């Protein structure tokens, strides 16, 4: 726990903020230790740890599966969720301001969850995703209800090109009056990716405009790939 707290404190959040403003995503290398990654993956076979399992193929989400954690969350995950959120809330609030959206997010995670619960969004949204050969995830956005936070994180629990082949993280950005732009990322084991849940502001000639973004996972050619998704808002179901 202290290691995670010191990791969060040691991140150059000014640089992360700049990257989020410029690109809509930021990769923090070596955020989790190898031991942390293995411990999180070990949770996958602990039935009581989860409230729901989703087989992607049944819903045409892709090919693979994921499980939503139950509350209370494991200590490490709870710590990340609580302590990373206050670093991201000012970024989200700056985006709302430049896009003239009448919305400001609370500066603590507990206050955000209170807003969720007042809207009957009381289910944990932290999830582990598992893919095997041929697995993929279609482009999507993780909103879960009317109350949502526009930034989220993914923690990568396997080493690309060693544990699996393919399986790149894909972001698409819908540029107004143009074709969509694809961004392909290949974070390493233990890295944390912070990215926009559904849109970001871009500065144009006449001020800021909003571009819609989605994310997904390209097809795995071999091996197994686990990731931990941390969404900061809760869900209705």
| Domain CATH code at residue 136 | 2.60.120.620
pLDDT tens string 27-72: 999 999 999 999 999 989 998 999 999 999 999 999 999 999 999 9
Return phi, psi of residue 184, to 5°: -115, 125
What is the span of the domain harbouring residue 84? 2-231
Q: In the block, which residue shows the tokens 């598992």?
A: 130
Number of domains in the chain: 1
Say how far apart CA 114 and CA 41 lie, in whole Å.
29
User: Considering the domain boundaries, does residue 236 fall inside one?
Assistant: no
For residue 2, is pLDDT > 70? no
Q: What is the pTM of this model?
A: 0.95
Cα atoms found within 13 Å of the Cα of residue 190, Cβ hemisphere only:
11
State the pLDDT at residue 110: 97
Q: Does 237 fall in a domain?
A: no
Query: Has residue 175 got a pLDDT over 90?
Result: no
Dist. CA 150–CA 94, nearest whole Å: 12
Residue 211 reports pLDDT greater than 80: yes
Q: What CA–CA distance (Å, rounded) separates 20 from 228? A: 20
DSSP classification of residue 74: P
> Per the domain annotation, does 47 fall within a domain?
yes
Measure the CA–CA gap between 78 and 230, rounded to whole angstroms: 10
pLDDT at 176: 75
Residue 153 falls within a domain, yes or no? Answer: yes
Beta strands 151-156 and 136-140 are unpaired
- Please name which of 176, 186, 193, 190 lies closest in space to residue 220, comparing C-alpha atoms: 186
pLDDT value, residue 47: 82
- The answer to whether 2 touches 191, Cβ cutoff 8 Å, is no
Q: Which residue has the higher pLDDT, 177 or 200?
A: 200
């Amino acid at each position: 726990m202290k290691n995670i707290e010191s990791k969060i404190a040691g991140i150059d959040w000014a640089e992360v903020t700049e990257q989020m403003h410029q690109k809509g995503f930021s990769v923090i290398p070596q955020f989790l230790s190898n031991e942390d990654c293995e411990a999180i993956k070990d949770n996958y076979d602990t039935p009581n740890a989860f409230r729901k399992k989703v087989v992607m193929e049944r819903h045409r989400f892709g090919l693979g599966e994921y499980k939503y954690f139950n509350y209370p969350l494991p200590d490490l995950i709870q710590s990340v969720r609580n302590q990373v959120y206050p670093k991201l809330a000012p970024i989200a609030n700056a985006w709302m301001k430049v896009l003239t959206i009448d919305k400001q997010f609370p500066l603590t995670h507990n206050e955000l969850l209170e807003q969720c619960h007042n809207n009957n969004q009381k289910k944990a949204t932290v999830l582990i995703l598992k893919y095997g050969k041929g697995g993929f995830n279609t482009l999507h956005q993780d909103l879960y209800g009317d109350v949502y936070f526009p930034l989220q994180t993914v923690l990568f629990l396997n080493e690309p090109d060693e544990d699996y082949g393919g399986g790149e993280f894909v972001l698409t950005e819908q540029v107004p009056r143009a074709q969509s732009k694809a961004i392909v990322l290949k974070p390493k084991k233990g890295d944390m990716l912070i990215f926009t849940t559904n849109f970001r502001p871009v500065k144009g000639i006449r001020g800021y405009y909003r571009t819609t973004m989605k994310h997904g996972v390209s097809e795995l050619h071999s091996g197994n790939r686990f990731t931990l998704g941390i969404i900061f808002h809760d869900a209705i179901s």
